[in-house]
């Protein structure tokens, strides 16, 4: 749980490096939170779906709006920490955080966007550079990196 909440403690810290574990545990936490919120919204619509009624804007229940409101608030609250942990993860790969802006822009291009997003997913799965790099010391603690050791 500590790794899941670490990006929230480092709220707007764009300098330094983040390990894969910190990035992916935060992604797992966000997946769980969004699954619960989506489940709350879906459960509010379930009686209409099973009755064969097409949901309309007037037929949404309070549970749907509560779930949508919670997801909206959570999305606004985690926007900066999610951006910061992604930039720090790129720093761990010895890449500038500005690459993420390129991924976001190219991700909007049809067909090319899917390839860019897939490449970015692979990039986030790769290990960081061992030892210190231009963005700081190794977050795994390998500060005494020596070649041929």
Looking at the structure of the chain, the number of domains it has is 1
Structural domain including 39 reads 2-95
Is residue 40 one of the residues assigned to a domain?
yes
* pLDDT score of 149: 46
* pLDDT score of 95: 94
Is residue 28 one of the residues assigned to a domain?
yes
* pLDDT score of 55: 73
Hey, what are 47's tokens? 């009686």
Is residue 57 one of the residues assigned to a domain?
yes
What SS3 class is residue 23? helix
Is residue 110 one of the residues assigned to a domain?
no
Is residue 38 one of the residues assigned to a domain?
yes
* pLDDT score of 28: 95
Low-confidence ranges of the chain (pLDDT < 50): 147-149
Is residue 33 one of the residues assigned to a domain?
yes
pLDDT in tens, 84-122: 999 999 999 999 999 999 999 999 999 999 999 999 999
- For the four alpha carbons of 116, 117, 122 and 124, in that order, the dihedral sign comes to positive
Is residue 138 one of the residues assigned to a domain?
no
Cβ(120)–Cβ(101) under 8 Å?
A: no
H helix count then E strand count, the chain: 5, 0
Q: pTM (2 decimals)?
A: 0.83
Return the residue matching tokens 């993860």: 89
* pLDDT score of 32: 94
* pLDDT score of 148: 45
Is residue 54 one of the residues assigned to a domain?
yes
């Amino acid at each position: 749980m500590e790794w899941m909440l670490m990006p929230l403690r480092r709220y707007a810290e764009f300098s330094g490096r983040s390990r894969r574990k910190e990035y992916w545990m935060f992604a797992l936490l966000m997946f769980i939170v969004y699954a619960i919120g989506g489940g709350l919204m879906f459960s509010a619509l379930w009686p209409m779906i099973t009755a064969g009624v097409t949901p309309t804007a007037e037929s949404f229940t309070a549970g749907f709006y509560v779930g949508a409101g919670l997801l909206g608030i959570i999305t606004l609250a985690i926007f900066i920490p999610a951006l910061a942990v992604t930039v720090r993860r790129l720093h761990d790969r010895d890449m500038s955080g500005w690459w993420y802006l390129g991924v976001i822009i190219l991700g909007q291009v049809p067909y090319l966007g899917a390839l860019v997003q897939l490449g970015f997913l692979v990039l986030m799965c790769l290990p960081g550079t061992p030892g210190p790099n231009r963005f700081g010391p190794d977050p795994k603690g390998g500060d005494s990196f020596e070649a041929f050791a």
